[in-house]
Structure 1
């Protein structure tokens, strides 16, 4: 639940003095070297790192580990690294006696595990990295490891051991907040937890191995941010949310030992209770992640305290109610001030102006980090709502039924409120304001977006916002079909929302974000289905040729099959609505819809499952007798008769490769023959009139 696969973490600038892969390639390009020489440079760097890691010197090992951590941006370097079994050399350093070495090894392995390559975590598990991760926790983070200052600070001994290797930077962009005191002990723990999280969210084998270890007791105390700090608490919460999903072993263990800390974190006054007035977004993120843990446990252990379910609902609602665009707007304004103040041309001798520039930079970093935490919290919140109210597709049940009479079988919509099966959640979470709050997560200011999208400091923030927009659309796709009319403010409100989603689809068709475009079309399709059930006549009265043609044009420019099917289905739903209108224009538009769906269905190069979806929509539109005239005008029956043999042939040839699309293809094939027989008997009188 709420997983984000293969998150790619930022990497530190090269701290070792060794050349980066990109600089090597640039040098080769300038010197006229062929691209074939690049792998040899990789080999040289890897051999240097190996030599450094196998020495006894602290500085050499640190240099090698920092090089490794900073080089993982390059996929080809990582391929070479894996071929040389470099991970097997780094893994044991997680339990090195020297704290800075452990920290650097944890950072390097975390960077590798978070690269974004789907197979990388499986490779790390195969390379036995988990053995050293668990050894790290068992040896250095048992129940008595808590830092001496009780708030994330390391012990005096750890600080003294690390003293010679720490370097102050202007701004740490990777994992900790600006100006936060470096803490080797806690940071190593945090990096180790992130590494464990990356492995477990990508590898089922990693979860299985985790269940065989007694590591939960090392993690759960640090959910309390007063123990190790909020960064470590957030890391643990991320990890445990993943590990409790469909995992009875971990869920039962946390339920048995940690209800008290979960209850405390989900308290509405949590920040006030622990005396925290800053980093509110990080604490909100922590609360939402803990809500996800509680939800996972509730599904497996129904005996959870009801108050925990109530508080998880309040937490989700609180997160959805925050306007993240205000934070983004503040960052935009600060960037505009920075650009307009001439900071880019600061004289080295002007110390006062230089300090002012650094203060602006630090303020910007703090604001960005806070905004990223807020956006991540809201992303988790909408994911939780999505999973809470996930329902099987009703259409799948309908098309699979052999007992249905194809024509004239109207589906009656029951105006029933959402239900996730947890009464305490239903009573608190859902009201008319939540649809608007989720929709606000999708909206964006183009001026601000263009400014931040090109700024190097805001790359992670804008990536996180894109993820939030996509997850919010997926959430709407799940909840829109089943919300009560009152939550949508009746047909006018529902139709206004539908128009917003159609406009969003048109905007996103050229934006280049395929996942967001697909999610937008999915939400549009869900809203179309909802309005059709709510008030088909009013829907038909608001459909004109221009609106219909816009979607036909978007579909023609789209190449992704899933996205195209969402548009095809939406056009089909509009056709179904038009059947409820008896105007001449509606008959013309039904013909336009039918011609479009026929065109998709009869394309020789079209994917079979896309054809099946188009045919299913076509049969829904023309199931009523009132469409007979339009059916004759577009030659519907003859076209379908011609199509039927080729459809059967394709189904037979592709039967082993259809996968999860096999059901819709089989159903369309079966229903098509019945539909043709039915339609032939009903359009004969129309043909005779002509």
Structure 2
């Protein structure tokens, strides 16, 4: 049914620094009777003439946006629209707190970002960023060597604002269009000079440019003039910030066709260096320290006297907040490991996009209303169904050569492996954010391998025996325990792609038993996610072309029964498309007779016809493919009917 859709290069977002826990202050407001709701208490503070009140309200807003209940309350109020104007408040500390609060809010979901755009956050945000770009020649960050090189407040405000823009542009095209019209891009490129602006700003700006440059032709015209500046980051070596900056620079180059053509070899070398870093060693070192956090690394919060707070200057207030927010040594280690995992995930996603072919574009261009059976499919012919598509490479020679010479398949397979159980357990108990990044890296690596399986030959994957071993290992991992849906979908997608390469190697499956097959059947039965069910059912269809007749009968019976109960039209489509392949080289008339296939297939044809009409909008680009399967199914039914009229049942079977 075609390749997987190219995933966008998504990011893991770090929580901003500079925000302190303020729930206690909210409770105090309510206890004093100053307001009848937490949100109203924040609004009152934001509308106060006192700078400290505004900052307190903004810090509270940043903190309460950690649960869905509070998010709902925020959305139902006008608090975002009210706070937006504070992005250009005359007081720099208020601007800083506002940018940080909005950044915290923007990491919650795409829907929240869309809501923020609807509340006109973009207008003051662009005005704030323009202040920096207009004074680019005069503005340089300063770093406090006595406070872990933390940057000055004005620079940290820029960092928060860029991160906010990055999140909004990734989530909504309105933000991207606004950025395109802002003329900020040329200035932004200058901020990736980490020697001047520091690693934090360079990384944030680079990741913003990575999002902005994806499928954005207007950005390409500008970025293509800065190839040397961006490519200068590709040779970076050293700590995780360098690794992340190098990787994101490679992603920007990959997004811009003119740069990709010029710096292709350097791009692949940079991605290779990122993927060859042993993330398991980094995780092992981290988890050896994490259990000690609760006993040795708990930070004691400084409690400031209220009178003292009223008397301190704005700069003293900022310094106090900075001291409170200084990360501990273990928090810095967590951040560095997180950046490494993020860089490796981005590398996998860049390769996924590079190794995606565009052969399915015909589907999107077809006139859905005028799709006719004559135009969309060939007459059903069991001798012409789905020959193996894995005999040749589909990628340009230079890309294929880079993949082979730099060992990307092996490196990605290493990233796809589960981490040690004891390491996972420690992360589960101490830092789930790192565990989430590990899972995201594994999923991205598997999806990249899935794309490679769809686009390079079996021989270039290491041969049928190697591919078979990968399929077995993936199956063992899938059935060893409960996994999250994202990982399970990636795993089964890769299993399905590897199995496509084994269509011509039935000898590898001679040892497969009915018990082995039942594991896969239980995978379908117990699965709540239609995309994953579709992967399982398609794999069963492929196995039906490889196994012995008794197992084939079990597969056909199960697929038909499952599809008659299935609600998702795409899952039915995938399953039936694959099941029809089983009859490509053998009529299996005895099985057709014993299972009453003609009646069941006719019922499925009726179900598909009804569901296609109902689901046209939600199918989107899948609509033509589903129509093709339904039309083929109608012809398959006629074919089976014709075969059964000639067939004499074997009563001893």
Instruction: Tell me, in whole angstroms, the C-alpha distance in 2 between the residues paired with 1:17 and 1:655.
Output: 47
1:387-433 deviation line (CA, Å, top 9, x unaligned): 111135789989985235521126254643452x5x65444344473
Name the residue aligned to 2:15. Answer: 9
Among 540, 554, 567, the residue aligned to 1:571 = 540
Among 436, 456, 459, the residue aligned to 2:410 = 436
1:327-360 deviation line (CA, Å, top 9, x unaligned): 1111122235668xx6499999xxxxxxxxxxxx
Cα–Cα, structure 1 residues 141 and 652, in superposed 2: closer, same or farther, change >3 Å? closer
Instruction: Tell me, in whole angstroms, the C-alpha distance in 1 between the residues paired with 2:70 and 2:9.
Output: 27
Give the Å deviation of 1:8.
7.4
Q: Does 1:209 align with 2:209?
A: no
Name the residue aligned to 2:453. Answer: 480
Cα–Cα, structure 1 residues 247 and 432, in superposed 2: closer, same or farther, change >3 Å? closer
Give the Å deviation of 1:143.
4.9
Name the residue aligned to 1:582. Answer: none
Give the Å deviation of 1:47.
3.0
1:619-648 deviation line (CA, Å, top 9, x unaligned): 111233352333333332343345544554
Cα–Cα, structure 1 residues 228 and 480, in superposed 2: closer, same or farther, change >3 Å? same
1:65-96 deviation line (CA, Å, top 9, x unaligned): 21221121133334433444222332222223
Among 586, 600, 603, the residue aligned to 1:625 = 586
The equivalences for 1:36-185 within 5 A come to: 44-116=37-109, 118-145=110-137, 147-148=139-140, 152-153=141-142, 179-185=148-154
Instruction: Tell me, in whole angstroms, the C-alpha distance in 2 between the residues paired with 1:51 and 1:395.
Output: 53
- List runs of 5+ in structure 2 lacking aligned partners: 1-6, 302-326, 364-372
Q: Is 1:441–1:469's contact at 8 Å kept on the other side of the alignment?
A: yes
- Compute the TM-score of the two structures, normalised by the length of structure 1: 0.80
Cα–Cα, structure 1 residues 601 and 205, in superposed 2: closer, same or farther, change >3 Å? same
- Compute the TM-score of the two structures, normalised by the length of structure 2: 0.84
Cα–Cα, structure 1 residues 414 and 379, in superposed 2: closer, same or farther, change >3 Å? closer
Name the residue aligned to 2:317. Answer: none
Question: How many equivalent residue pairs?
Answer: 608
Q: Does 1:317 align with 2:293?
A: no
Name the residue aligned to 1:679. Answer: 640
Give the Å deviation of 1:216.
1.4
Cα–Cα, structure 1 residues 488 and 432, in superposed 2: closer, same or farther, change >3 Å? farther
Q: Is 1:137–1:218's contact at 8 Å kept on the other side of the alignment?
A: no
Name the residue aligned to 1:562. Answer: 531
Instruction: Tell me, in whole angstroms, the C-alpha distance in 2 between the residues paired with 1:146 and 1:542.
Output: 72
Q: Does 1:281 align with 2:240?
A: yes
Q: Is 2:380–2:636's contact at 8 Å kept on the other side of the alignment?
A: no
Supply the RMSD in Å over aligned alpha carbons: 3.4
Name the residue aligned to 1:383. Answer: 349
Instruction: Tell me, in whole angstroms, the C-alpha distance in 1 between the residues paired with 2:290 and 2:533.
Output: 39
Counterpart secondary structure, 2:49: coil
Q: Does 1:615 align with 2:576?
A: yes
Give the Å deviation of 1:182.
4.3
1:656-679 deviation line (CA, Å, top 9, x unaligned): 665555434433332223223333
Name the residue aligned to 1:194. Answer: 163
Name the residue aligned to 2:423. Answer: 448
Counterpart secondary structure, 1:212: helix
Q: Is 1:470–1:515's contact at 8 Å kept on the other side of the alignment?
A: yes
Instruction: Tell me, in whole angstroms, the C-alpha distance in 2 between the residues paired with 1:665 and 1:600.
Output: 18
- Comparing both chains, which one has the higher relative contact order based on Cα–Cα distances under 8 Å and sequence gaps of 6 or more? 2
The equivalences for 1:179-578 within 5 A come to: 179-256=148-225, 258-266=226-234, 268=235, 270-271=236-237, 280-298=239-257, 302=258, 304=259, 306-336=261-291, 343=296, 362-391=328-357, 401-403=376-378, 405-409=380-384, 411-413=387-389, 415-417=391-393, 419=395, 421=396, 425-431=399-405, 433-443=407-417, 444-455=419-430, 458-507=431-480, 510-511=482-483, 513-532=484-503, 535-578=504-547
Give the Å deviation of 1:17.
6.9
1:208-241 deviation line (CA, Å, top 9, x unaligned): 1111111113311111111110010010011011
- List runs of 5+ in structure 1 lacking aligned partners: 28-39, 160-167, 169-177, 272-276, 349-360, 579-585
Instruction: Tell me, in whole angstroms, the C-alpha distance in 1 between the residues paired with 2:509 and 2:153.
Output: 65
Cα–Cα, structure 1 residues 606 and 61, in superposed 2: closer, same or farther, change >3 Å? closer
Instruction: Tell me, in whole angstroms, the C-alpha distance in 2 between the residues paired with 1:305 and 1:473.
Output: 24
